[in-house]
Amino acid sequence: MNSYEWYGALKKPSFAPPSRAFGIAWSILYPVIFVSFGYVFYLAATGKVSWIVAAPFVLNLVFNFAFTPLQFGLKNNALALVDVILVDATLIWAALAVWPHSKPAALAQIPYLAWVLFASALQISITFLNARKL
């Protein structure tokens, strides 16, 4: 069974959006992430902030990009759930770390955080609704 069929066969909560909503959301979020994370990396590269400030941004990217292979490549809801929680945690950490240095960069994370918190609730629901399929 391919990933599309596998995901389609999973039980989903009533609040699960249609698949096309994910593409729309990420099409809006990725430019914001690119600019705001890029700015933080610029600040770190030019010595205006410590790389410690940029570290949660790096980790967030790693966890963000790991989600699709975990969820759809491995077809593992539990690992995807752990990963999305790490996305949430590193994003909150990132916003707090950069706040003293760039409030706009911190505030730019709010739409991303709102989406990943929603995605986390969705992943929690999918994981537990399909627990026998772990």
The domain spans of the chain are 21-133
Residues found in the chain: 134
How far apart CA 120 and CA 123 sit, in angstroms, is 5
Number of alpha carbons in the 13 Å side-chain half-sphere of residue 31? 5
Q: What is the pLDDT of residue 133?
A: 52
Residue 134 pLDDT: 47
- Work out the percent of the chain whose per-residue pLDDT is above 90: 94
Residue 48 main-chain phi, psi, to 5 deg: -80, -25
Cβ(88)–Cβ(118) under 8 Å?
no
> 77-98 vs 51-68: helix axis angle to the nearest 10?
160
Please provide the average confidence, as pLDDT, over all residues in the chain: 96
C-alpha span between 11 and 34 (Å, rounded): 33
Q: Summarize pLDDT for 95-120 with one digit per residue, the tens.
A: 999 999 999 999 999 999 999 999 99
How crowded is the C-beta side of 43, counted as CA atoms within 13 Å?
Answer: 22
- According to DSSP, residue 69 is labeled I
Angle at 51 between CA 102 and CA 120, to 5 degrees: 70
Q: pTM for the complete prediction?
A: 0.93
Q: What is the mean pLDDT of residues 6-21?
A: 94
Model pLDDT for residues 37-75, shown as the tens digit of each residue:
999 999 999 999 999 999 999 999 999 999 999 999 999
* Cβ atoms 90, 59 nearer than 8 A: yes
The secondary structure of 39-72 as a DSSP string is HHHHHHHTTSS-HHHHHHHHHHHHHHHHHHIIII
Q: At residue 130, does pLDDT exceed 50?
A: yes
Q: What is the pLDDT at residue 129?
A: 96
92, 113 contact by CB (below 8 A): yes
